């Protein structure tokens, strides 16, 4: 019986965990443990909450480890105590050290949400949207110490990225696709017969971990196309926002206005960031129409509702930082 461990944390990894746990008896394998990120405070009360994979694993009756770090002796010792023969990784959220990669005799295999070597790194779904890529997919690669640089055992067929698709929506689709790639590849991984191909280093692109400030929009530097992609890419996290005076205004849903938009308005030559009637905002190049916004401390609303309650906002400028006192 091959002993398999699964490492993952967010909702996007749950379909792959369920696929693994539902593997047929004919494969002679057992999921002997699931490793996730530790519980985090969440919600208004900031109560400690388990990640999505931990909740799913407990519901499936699987043992769970949530070490602070697998680099620490305790975390590694607990994982080694599971005696894994094979490790499947999907959006775990930590870089695995060499001794973890060497632990399972059949290797550590990562389900990565891009068609490698494009978008190695921590945010491939968001990066594909930000870059305006037409398509993406899922890769299964054997993990090495260099980030996402290992040889590839399987790739999904390319999937088109919808013109208005957010990271939440695209990631959800890729999560189901990853589960299918795992189902198809698992027999080969268990037998140690997976055929791998090296990545073409000349085609590598890299994306980075997203921080909370990444969603701030600078209307004087970013084009309408870039802003619309940014809102899609950073939905749901970290979200996009600008400041109207000293208060934040979340940009929940926007669209790129047609060429020539704003020419008939009383502020066609206003500086970037200026809000025109109807939610048109001038960007560095082109115009963006605000469809839904979230004023600081309030619920999401249509821009029309926001404008009715805040008519003074028209003619003012959105900025990437709060105005000085």
The answer to the question of residue 292 being in a domain is yes
- For 25-133, strand residue ranges (E) read 29-35, 40-42, 47-49, 64-65, 86-90, 108-112, 120-121
How far is residue 288's CA from residue 225's CA, in Å, rounded to a whole number?
8
The whole-number pLDDT of residue 308 equals: 96
What string of DSSP letters covers 206-234? EE----GGGGB--TTTS-HHHHHHHHHHT
Residues 225 and 278 in one domain: yes
Average pLDDT for residues 273-287, to the nearest whole number?
92
Residues 35 and 49 in one domain: yes
How far is residue 207's CA from residue 113's CA, in Å, rounded to a whole number?
12
Domain end marker among 162, 181, 207? 207
What rounded mean pLDDT belongs to the chain? Answer: 94
Domain end marker among 207, 226, 248? 207
Residues 62 and 159 in one domain: yes
Quick one: pLDDT band at residue 323, thresholds 50, 70, 90? Answer: confident
Quick one: pLDDT band at residue 264, thresholds 50, 70, 90? Answer: low
The answer to the question of residue 32 being in a domain is yes
The answer to the question of residue 325 being in a domain is no
pLDDT, tens only, 67-118: 999 999 999 999 999 999 999 999 999 999 999 999 999 999 999 999 999 9
- For the chain, strand residue ranges (E) read 2-8, 29-35, 40-42, 47-49, 64-65, 86-90, 108-112, 120-121, 135-136, 139-142, 152-155, 159-160, 206-207, 240-244, 247-256, 280-282, 287-295, 301-302, 318-319
Residues 116 and 242 in one domain: no
Tokens of 256: 């790129």
Tokens of 162: 């919808």
The answer to the question of residue 243 being in a domain is yes
Residues 202 and 247 in one domain: no
Residues 74 and 42 in one domain: yes
DSSP conformation class of 319: E
How far is residue 113's CA from residue 122's CA, in Å, rounded to a whole number?
10
Residues 226 and 201 in one domain: no
Residues 66 and 198 in one domain: yes
What is the percent of the chain where pLDDT is above 70? 96
pLDDT, tens only, 216-230: 999 999 999 999 999
Highest mean pLDDT among 42-46, 125-129, 276-280: 125-129
Residue 320's Cβ-count burial label (10 Å; 0-12, 13-18, 19+) is middle
Residue 76 CB neighbour total at 10 angstroms: 17
Quick one: pLDDT band at residue 260, thresholds 50, 70, 90? Answer: low
The answer to the question of residue 324 being in a domain is no
Residues 188 and 84 in one domain: yes
Residue whose C-alpha is closest to residue 70's, from 55, 80, 85:
80
Q: What is the CATH number of the domain that holds 248?
A: 3.10.25.10
Residues 12 and 128 in one domain: yes
Instruction: Print the domain residue range for 163.
Output: 2-207
How far is residue 278's CA from residue 209's CA, in Å, rounded to a whole number?
35
Q: What is the CATH number of the domain that holds 8?
A: 3.40.50.170
Average pLDDT for residues 182-197, to the nearest whole number?
97
Q: Which residues contact 307 (CB under 8 A, 6 or more apart)?
A: 277, 278, 279, 313, 314
Contact 150, 143 (CB under 8 A): yes
The answer to the question of residue 260 being in a domain is yes
The answer to the question of residue 271 being in a domain is yes
Residues 125 and 232 in one domain: no
How far is residue 138's CA from residue 124's CA, in Å, rounded to a whole number?
10
Give the total number of structural domains in the chain.
Answer: 2
Domain end marker among 167, 187, 207? 207
Average pLDDT for residues 167-181, to the nearest whole number?
98
pTM score, two decimals? 0.94
DSSP conformation class of 278: G
The whole-number pLDDT of residue 168 equals: 97
Residues 47 and 143 in one domain: yes
């Amino acid at each position: 019986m091959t002993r398999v461990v699964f490492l993952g944390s967010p909702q996007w990894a749950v379909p792959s965990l369920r696929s693994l746990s539902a593997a047929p008896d004919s494969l002679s394998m057992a999921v002997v443990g699931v490793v996730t990120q530790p519980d985090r405070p969440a919600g208004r009360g900031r109560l400690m909450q388990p990640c999505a994979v931990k909740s799913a694993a407990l519901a499936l009756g699987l043992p769970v480890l949530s070490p602070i770090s697998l680099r620490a002796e305790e975390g590694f010792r607990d994982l080694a105590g599971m005696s894994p023969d094979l490790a499947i990784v999907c959006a775990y959220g930590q870089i695995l050290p060499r001794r973890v990669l060497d632990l399972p005799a059949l290797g550590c295999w990562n389900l990565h949400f891009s068609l490698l070597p494009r978008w190695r790194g921590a945010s491939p779904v968001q990066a594909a949207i930000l870059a305006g890529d037409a398509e993406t997919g899922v890769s299964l690669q054997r993990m090495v110490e260099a980030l996402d640089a290992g040889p590839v055992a399987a790739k999904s067929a390319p999937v088109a990225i919808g013109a208005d698709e957010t990271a939440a929506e695209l990631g959800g689709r890729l999560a189901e696709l990853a589960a299918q790639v795992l189902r198809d590849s698992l027999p080969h991984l268990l037998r140690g017969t997976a055929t791998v191909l090296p990545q073409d280093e000349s085609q590598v692109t890299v994306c980075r971990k997203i921080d909370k400030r990444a969603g701030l929009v600078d209307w004087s530097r970013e084009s309408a196309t870039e802003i619309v992609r940014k809102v899609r890419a950073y939905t749901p996290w970290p979200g996009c926002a600008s400041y109207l005076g000293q208060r934040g205004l979340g940009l929940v849903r926007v669209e790129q206005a047609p060429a020539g938009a704003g020419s008939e308005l009383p502020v066609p030559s206003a500086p970037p960031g200026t809000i025109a009637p109807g939610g048109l905002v001038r960007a560095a190049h082109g115009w963006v129409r605000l469809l839904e916004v979230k004023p600081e401390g309030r619920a999401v609303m249509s821009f029309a509702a926001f404008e009715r309650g805040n008519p003074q906002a028209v003619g003012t400028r959105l900025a990437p930082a709060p105005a000085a006192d």
